[in-house]
Amino acid sequence: MSTVGTCREISTNPSNPECLHFIRSCLAECSDNHQCFEPTHCPRLPRRLLHIGRQNNDVSLHEPADEHGVYAILSYCWGPTLDNLKTTLATLESFEKTIPYAKLPKTVQDAVVITRKLGLQYLWVDALCIIQDSHSDWEVEASKMGGYYENAFVTIAATSSERAAEGLLKDRVGVLPAKPIFFHEKDGKRVKIMTQQRKRVLWPTPLHDLGPLSSRAWTYQEHALSRRMLHFLESELLFECQEKLISEDGNPIGDNQTSLISHFRRTLGTSPQQLWRFSTTAYSQRNLSFVADKLPALSGVASRLQQATGFHYLAGLWKETLLEDLLWTSWGWEEYDKPPLVLEAPSWSWASIHGGVAFQAETTEVLHIYPRILSVTCQSPPGNPFGKCGHGRIEITGPVLEMELIFNGDVDDFGLPSYKLDYDGGSVPLFSPDTSLDETTFLDRGSGATVRTAKRSSEPPVPIAAKVWCMWFFGTDQKPTEMKSFFDEEPLSLHGIVVGRVSGESEVYSRVGTASARDMQLVSQASEQRISLI
Ligand SMILES: [Zn+2]
């Protein structure tokens, strides 16, 4: 839809001096009038930085020894990584002398230019400031990355670029030069009005999709933790801080309710657990190039939450709110073609699957909590408690109901597989599988009986008829308001997780989905049982 309004003229290319003036004035106003980045804030510098000299060919890798100072930081999509110049064990020494500017991807070249124009000496860029072929360097630096973004003077964001080769300082799309229109007033006086046709961005929610950068997993924390961000969009420049969200034409495009930076800071202080579930839900829908990065790419946010709450982190969940956190539901897994079975996390963690997740305890009022956690063990890598977690075990006791999981190949109105979860006396109205499912058969060591149970699968759904167990977690008081009139049904008020047995060990289970029911009697139908969840 086209709209007409008044605004300041913007340049057709962000290299023009007016853009630099806009950036400088936003940063100055923020420093002078907001609490976003105190002028006295002089954080410890990252382990390595690009030192930006006076000329483009005067760029090198600098290792500050416990120095404090200010620096800019880049948030961007790599794109095909083969194209990009990286620091490796082989190039480290030569890059400490000089980094060949001409070989840098265009986005990094432009970030160097912008950093210099802002009068800053240092720029942090992941591909160059982390030794890309050193596992130990990557582990340590990945755990600090969130802090690097949080402490940066400004984050330069290549928001609308899919690849590092695209650059920031390039002609804008959909912005035409301003043109004069003349008219005469009643007294014959000639009046000139400048008009400009261009695209305009509105930012209605903290999770608004601003471009390719908004779809990448790593960049969620880069955005949320930054104090001030300069978004290079294809048609304009946006400045975002805790207090302001403004376009280069002088008009606000949102407010501090719609800014992710502002939302993060505000909610961190008031309801950190809500913030974690919000972050996890948003993050889980984003794309990762390497599945092993699932937990590391959110480790900065986790670390910040840990500082705020003092809680204990368990592979994407928190010990202090573990029951609510365990009741995540998978959605959108069908869109992922052959998801790898095992991401590096235990099955009870949302980080063990591809695709989006949501939390049920968030939207309902919990009246009854049924299970009790007996113990938790979770292995996190040395040096990064918020990184990968291959193994974790939860000992839990609660009401468990044996059920039959059936899929005979039918699909529902949306084309999704219709899994049916039957118990003695009926079917559960809602079963949400974590992934595509398959069945597995083994001999129980204790009884010698054959066990046919369900497990997650990375293949398309196949017909199954397998034994599973549902542990009821919560009974809720969901009001039968709009939901009831919409579906003409009673609300789902009982929620639990569904598990399959793991061969070789008795009473060891792995998660396959979640179930919701209306009939609270299903709790009394269940028997109290202790299980090990891995
Ligand atoms: Zn500010």
183, part of any domain: no
Q: Is 262 within a domain?
A: yes
* pTM exceeding the 0.85 threshold for the entire prediction: yes
**342 vs 34, more confident:** 34
Q: Is 4 within the bounds of a domain?
A: no
Distance 457 CA to ligand 1 centre (A): 47
Quote the ligand 1 centre to 61 CA distance (angstroms): 30
Helix axes 272-284, 299-309, angle to 10 degrees: 170
Q: Let me know if residue 156 belongs to a domain.
A: yes
Centre of ligand 1 to C-alpha 310, Å, is: 27
State the distance from the centre of ligand 1 to the C-alpha of 267, rounded, in angstroms. 17
Model pLDDT for residues 283-309, shown as the tens digit of each residue: 999 988 888 889 999 999 999 999 999
187 CA to centre of ligand 1 in angstroms: 46
Measure 386 CA to ligand 1 centroid, in angstroms.
Answer: 29
Q: Do 214 and 316 fall within a single domain?
A: no
CA 154 to centroid of ligand 1, rounded, Å? 11
For residues 255 and 347, state if they share a domain: no
3-class state of residue 270 by DSSP: helix
| Ligand 1 centre distance from Cα of residue 103 (Å) | 35
**Residue 85 contacts residue 125 (beta carbons within 8 Å):** no
Cβ contacts of residue 289 below 8 Å, gap of 6+? Answer: 78, 81
64 within domain boundaries: yes
Average the pLDDT over 83-106 and give the result: 94
197 C-alpha to ligand 1 centroid (Å): 29
Instruction: Name the least confident of 187-196, 370-379, 512-521.
Output: 187-196
The CA angle 460-462-463, to the nearest 5 degrees, is 160
Distance 202 CA to ligand 1 centre (A): 19
* Buried residues in 4-32 as b, exposed as e (16+ CB within 10 A): eeeeebbbbebbeeebeebbeebbeebbe
Mean pLDDT along residues 257-278: 93
**What gap in Å lies between CA 337 and CA 260, rounded to an integer?**
30
Residue 264 Cα, ligand 1 centroid: separation in angstroms? Answer: 14
Number of independent structural domains in the chain: 2
Q: Do 326 and 454 share a domain, yes or no?
A: yes
Band (364; pLDDT cuts 50, 70, 90):
low
Structural domain harbouring 520: 274-286+304-533
Whether 240 and 281 map to the same domain: the answer is: no
320, 248: one domain: no
b/e for 343-376, b at 16 or more Cβ within 10 A? bbbbbbbbbbbbbbbbbbbeebebeeebbeeeeb
390 and 363, same domain (yes or no): yes
Ligand 1 center to 405 CA (angstroms): 53
Co-location of 282 and 211 in the same domain: no
Q: Distance, CA 326 to ligand 1 centroid (Å)?
A: 37
Over residues 61-78, the mean pLDDT reads 95
In a domain, 490, yes or no: yes
Query: Comparing 407 with 41, which gets the higher pLDDT?
Result: 407
Residues 264 and 278 in one domain: no
Helix (H, G, I), strand (E, B) or coil at 87: coil
- In a domain, residue 7? The reply is no
- Clarify whether residues 120 and 108 are in a common domain: yes
pLDDT higher than 60, residue 178: yes
CA of 375 to the centre of ligand 1 (A): 44
| Whether 489 and 421 share a structural domain | yes
When comparing pLDDT for 221 and 355, which is higher?
Answer: 221
- Domain end (from 214, 246, 270): 270
- Residue 49 Cα to ligand 1 midpoint, Å, equals 24
Do 352 and 261 share a structural domain? no
Tell me, in angstroms, the distance from the centre of ligand 1 to residue 244's CA. 6
Query: How many A from CA of 225 to the centre of ligand 1?
Result: 14
**Residue at 1 is within a domain:** no
Least confident of 322-336, 366-380, 416-430, 500-514: 322-336
Mean pLDDT across 510-521: 94
Q: Measure 301 CA to ligand 1 centroid, in angstroms.
A: 20
Question: What does each C-alpha distance from 193 to 13, 123, 196, 200 come to in angstroms?
Answer: 22, 41, 10, 20
Q: How far is the CA of 259 from the centre of ligand 1 (A)?
A: 11
Q: How confident is the model at residue 230 (pLDDT cuts 50, 70, 90)?
A: very high
5 vs 95: which has the higher pLDDT: 95
pLDDT band at residue 500 under the 50/70/90 scheme: very high
Q: How far is the CA of 361 from the centre of ligand 1 (A)?
A: 34
Tell me: pLDDT of 338 over 70: no
Specify whether 227 is located in the same domain as 282: no
pLDDT level of residue 332 (50, 70, 90 thresholds): confident
